[in-house]
Structure 1
Amino acid sequence: MHKTLLFTIALFAFLSVNAQDEETAIRATLQNYLDGSSYSNLEQITSAFYPEADLFLSKKDQELWVLSPQEYADLFKNREHGKFNGRVGKILSIDQSHNIALAKASIEIPSRKMTFIDIFLLKKLQGEWKIISKAATLLPE
């Protein structure tokens, strides 16, 4: 009985630590995207994504605007690399199950009075978490 209890406690501790490590890795991927888009770092933006990911975005007068990670990163190429561009990103939630995760973040651009909500689908590929899809909406003022 004593050995079973110790094994159960050890297993629970291992699973708990492993889950925390996975969330930390997911947060790091999301933060790469957030920081890259806040500081116009194209390489940092694309590093967060699976290269063939689709980004479903909001654009004025266009119901659905679909870009690749590279096309999205290119939106920042004419901004000063490494300089804060006014985008403030915050991770709101993460829900992870084995090798997939769903995450939500807010992106605020105070100077333009804009707030976006981004929903991310992530998958662990070759030991690394990557965003495989992203959808964004612009909240009404």
Structure 2
Amino acid sequence: MSSVFDVQKTIREILLKILDSHSLEQLNKVPDGFSNNIIWNIGHCISSQQVLVYKLSGLPTMVSEDFINKYRKGTKPEGDVSQAEVDEIRTLLSTTLEKTKNDFESGLFVDYHEYTTSIGFTLRHVQGALDFNNYHEGLHTGVIMALRKLV
């Protein structure tokens, strides 16, 4: 499983670099033809990871329900995020990864509520959720790469 966390760490490092190389205005800009922006996609990665790994394991998440609801699938930015929110998201990119890795290694994940994703892939255990999460974060990183060329 160490490679799963190595992949997620690499994705999260890419997202951190994008956060650091874009202004607040750029992070919040929704280009024509898109329904979201860079910061929404990054928040969505964190929110989804928490739901896929923790909630579906019956465990408490590291983020609030408000955070999950703001960035869940099917939502879009309702307004600009503040610098404080960007700073929180920056911190969460690292802390959620480290806590998940530590929790996995300590055997915290015992139960898992089977869930079929929107692409039809059924998650049956936390290992599958962690694998799928990397795929999901990779997709959103690709969207972010397109967005950054338009902001």
TM-score band by shorter chain is 0.3 to 0.5
Of structures 1 and 2, the one with the larger relative CO (CA 8 A, separation 6+) is 2
More strand per residue? 1
Query: TM-score, normalized by length of structure 2?
Result: 0.31
Question: Greater Rg, structure 1 or structure 2?
Answer: 1
Query: TM-score, normalized by length of structure 1?
Result: 0.32
More helix per residue? 2
